[in-house]
Amino acid sequence: MRRVGLVVNPIAGMGGRVGLKGTDNKLEEARHRGAEPRSPGRAREALEHLRSQPEDVELYTYGGAMGEREARAVGFSPVVVDAPDGGETAAADTRAAVGQFVEEEVDLVLFVGGDGTAVDVAETLEELADETPILGVPSGVKVYSSVFAVTPRAAGRIAASFDRTETREVNDIDEDAYRGGDVNTELKALAAVPIGDEVQSAKQIGGGTVESLAAAVAAEIGDDDATYVLGPGSTVDAIKTDLGIDGSPLGVDVWHDGAVLASDAGETEILASLGERNVVVVSPIGGQGFIFGRGNDQISPPVIRRSELEIVASKQKLSDIGVLRVDTGDPGLDESLRGWQRVRVGKFERQLLKVV
């Protein structure tokens, strides 16, 4: 029987959909903007798929919102190792949970959160000189580390069935600098992670030039009367620059007929700016291939459903990633996006790539 220790960061990812690019030191502001918890639903989705696997699993977890509630909601009768003292949960609670899991000799620490949670889990294991494997259910905004499954469902499947592990990197960035447009990753820890096709790679920062691609897309946008939702990333930022937008390279800007309708916008602002015809412009993340669900949660399912999709990327980036991925939090929408998509790779050229 496999013993899995589950810990949930209940506030991870709350800042994404409201345009804060993270929740570190921004929880109250996120709530003020109307943010709702994302992790509980992601945890339940992973646990439902964990429970549906043929392998026998004994689940250990932390009390209340840090795992117990979601575990019981999907039918597990978990072993509750301890619980937070009350009030807001903190990184110390995550670290305490991992310490308890080590004492219980679990076979895997399954955590729900983002890079900050991954750091707490991995650093605790390093401090304890313990080599228990870890696997993340992606629920944060950034998710730069290579210790996460590509979706919650994949996390549930992998947690039940993996038989080998490999050493992978846990990275994090300064969220305040990230909000200002600077992306500097820092290696925080190394961890054993299950081997599988559905474990994501680390994000790659930087890449080749995209000037001709950006200029061509910007020219077409400039002659169009649609409302454009321009996502984050260096490729789309080059398009913003060609449009004359002093936009946010790591945020979402909305543009229509020569005017910026919303800058560094959250979901609510984007929805309020949409017109009769809308186009979402995104570029896949280098090394991972995600077009939705990593760093652009503001482009939510309601936004996507009301819009056409334009994917842009350099040929080099596409050759590096191989496939595209989506993780919008809406399984029905994800399924509708899967299949072959046309990706703009040059002034005139498009290339087919599959969303898996």
What CATH number has the domain bearing residue 36? 3.40.50.10330
- Are residues 190 and 236 located together in one domain of the fold? no
Q: Is residue 204 part of a domain?
A: no
Strand blocks (E) in the chain? 2-8, 57-62, 79-82, 108-113, 134-138, 165-172, 186-194, 227-230, 253-256, 259-262, 278-282, 290-292, 308-312, 325-326, 339-344, 350-355
Task: Identify residue 236 by its one-letter amino acid code.
Answer: V
Are 283 and 295 spatial neighbours (Cβ–Cβ below 8 Å)?
no
Q: Is residue 331 part of a domain?
A: yes
Domain boundary among 169, 194, 219: 194
Q: Is residue 203 part of a domain?
A: no
Pairing of strands 253-256, 290-292: unpaired
- Are residues 31 and 80 located together in one domain of the fold? yes
Are 237 and 214 spatial neighbours (Cβ–Cβ below 8 Å)?
no
- Are residues 179 and 244 located together in one domain of the fold? no
Domain boundary among 166, 194, 222: 194
- The string over 29-67, giving b where at least 16 C-beta atoms fall within 10 Å of a residue's C-beta and e elsewhere, is ebbebebebbbbebbbbbbbbbeeeeeebbbbbbbbbbb
- Are residues 155 and 283 located together in one domain of the fold? no
Q: What is the pLDDT of residue 285?
A: 84
Rounded Cα gap, residues 17 and 301, in angstroms: 10
Q: What is the pLDDT of residue 207?
A: 40
- Are residues 226 and 330 located together in one domain of the fold? yes
pTM of the model: 0.66
Q: What is the pLDDT of residue 257?
A: 92
- Are residues 153 and 223 located together in one domain of the fold? no
Q: What is the pLDDT of residue 301?
A: 96
* Element of type H or E holding 238: helix 234-242
How many domains would you assign to the chain? 2
Rounded Cα gap, residues 274 and 283, in angstroms: 20
- Find the largest Cα–Cα distance for the chain: 63
257: left (phi over 0), alpha (psi -120 to 50) or beta: left
Domain boundary among 162, 194, 226: 194
The two tokens of residue 52 are: 């549906």
| Cα-based torsion angle of the residue sequence 46, 50, 52, 58 in order, rounded to the nearest 10 degrees | -140
- Are residues 186 and 235 located together in one domain of the fold? no
The two tokens of residue 251 are: 């945020």
**Which residues, other chains included, contact 272 with Cβ-Cβ below 8 Å and sequence gap of 6+?**
262
Are 227 and 277 spatial neighbours (Cβ–Cβ below 8 Å)?
yes
DSSP 8-state assignment for residue 309 = E
Q: Is residue 257 part of a domain?
A: yes
Q: Is residue 238 part of a domain?
A: yes
- Are residues 109 and 173 located together in one domain of the fold? yes
**Which residues, other chains included, contact 55 with Cβ-Cβ below 8 Å and sequence gap of 6+?**
2, 160, 161
- Are residues 186 and 311 located together in one domain of the fold? no
- Are residues 101 and 188 located together in one domain of the fold? yes
SS3 90: coil
- Are residues 168 and 218 located together in one domain of the fold? no
Pairing of strands 290-292, 325-326: parallel
Residue 123 burial (CB < 10 Å; 0-12/13-18/19+)?
middle
Domain that holds residue 305: 211-355
In a structure prediction context, what are the per-residue pLDDT tens digits for the chain, which is 356 residues long?
A: 999 999 999 886 554 454 444 555 554 554 556 556 788 999 999 999 999 998 999 999 999 999 999 999 999 999 999 999 876 788 999 999 999 999 999 999 999 998 889 999 999 999 999 999 999 999 876 677 889 999 999 999 999 999 999 999 888 866 555 545 555 567 889 999 999 889 987 655 444 347 778 888 999 898 889 999 999 988 899 999 999 988 777 899 999 999 999 999 999 999 999 999 999 999 998 778 999 998 899 999 999 999 999 999 988 888 788 899 999 999 999 999 999 898 998 776 788 899 99
Q: What is the pLDDT of residue 347?
A: 73
Q: What is the pLDDT of residue 103?
A: 97
